[in-house]
Amino acid sequence: MAITRLKRKEKRNRIVAKKRVANIKALTKVPVIRKVDIEELKKQASPSLASKVKEEVKKVADKITGKE
């Protein structure tokens, strides 16, 4: 007795598996945390911009540590 393969179903199953793996990889991806030299930014930018950068860095640090 010959075996028939359901090619369309096989293709769909492979696509579903690839999507599942891609979703898992996307969910577990951790963004790269770059080191920023605040003092160098202050030298390059105006005083008002430096204070804004400092506030943003503080917000990000609070989010990372969970203080919010």
Residue 33 lies in a domain: yes
Range of the domain at 44: 7-65
Residue 55 lies in a domain: yes
Residue 2 lies in a domain: no
Return the closest-CA partner of residue 38 out of 24, 26, 21, 52. 52
Q: Give the per-residue SS3 of 4-60.
A: CCCHHHHHHHHHHHHHHHHHHHHHHCCCCCCCCCHHHHHHHCCHHHHHHHHHHHHHH
38, 54 Cβ separation under 8 angstroms: yes
Residue 54 lies in a domain: yes
Structure tokens at 43: 């030298």
Residue 52 lies in a domain: yes
Residue 34 lies in a domain: yes
pLDDT at 68 over 60: no
Regarding pTM above 0.75, the answer is no
Domain count, the chain: 1
Pairwise pLDDT comparison (40 vs 60), residue with the higher score = 60
Q: What is the pLDDT of residues 5-48, one digit of tens each?
A: 889 999 999 999 999 999 999 999 887 777 877 777 777 766 66
